[in-house]
Structure 1
Amino acid sequence: MKLGERIKSYRLTKKLTLKDIALHLGVSEATAQRYESGKITTIDYDKIIILSKLFDCSPTELMGWETNRDTSLELANDEKIFLEKFRKLSHDDQMLLFGIMDSFIDRRNSVSLPATGTK
């Protein structure tokens, strides 16, 4: 997949418009479209950084340079939503949430379920 195709794929996944991309990059909408179409193949490093932050990926992933990607780290949609919300919390609130999750796990592990039940 070429850079322009990756930009378009990430943009659509994030439900962004070409205008959104243009505004973040400080370029015209037409220029953003030319990035996607591949008519412009050389994009400044600072713009790659902006795009990678916007798309929540690494610059090397955006550029297509990662060849040994570990797919075991792929997140399900609900995990992505959780992570986005988690990142908005303060550090103290994140630690509190860890404690709550540990309490649920400990309580769940201590409950004796019938053989046909699930944990």
Structure 2
Amino acid sequence: MIRIRGHVGDWPVDLSVEMDDQDWVQLARQLPLSANVQAAKAPVEAGSDDLWLGAQQLLREAGRMEGPQLLAELEALSGSAMAGKRLLVRLRHSAQVKVQSGTDAPVYSWVTAAG
């Protein structure tokens, strides 16, 4: 559910929008993956293949990303801090991901498989 509260001019606004999992998935397909972390992303059940594929696609399309930013994106994608951390660890150990020490944080890069 999305809840929007505030004012439009002098008029108070309190709007609730009910969305099921399929609605979130459809909304996520409409958003560019480089969208701000604040953007609504589809919460998917932890441990699902869709969530893992979404995490891979996020890093693949970004190319490279610092650890804290990637973790924030993964938390937004999964809907929880714990699930985001699990995805980060899974990416770290993936054959398609290279992790290098950055100045302030590790940098995660997507490595294309040599064919």
| TM-score interval (norm. to shorter) | under 0.3
Structure whose residues are more often helix by fraction: 1
Tell which structure's C-alpha radius of gyration is larger: 1
Q: TM-score, normalized by length of structure 2?
A: 0.25
Q: TM-score, normalized by length of structure 1?
A: 0.25
Structure whose residues are more often strand by fraction: 2
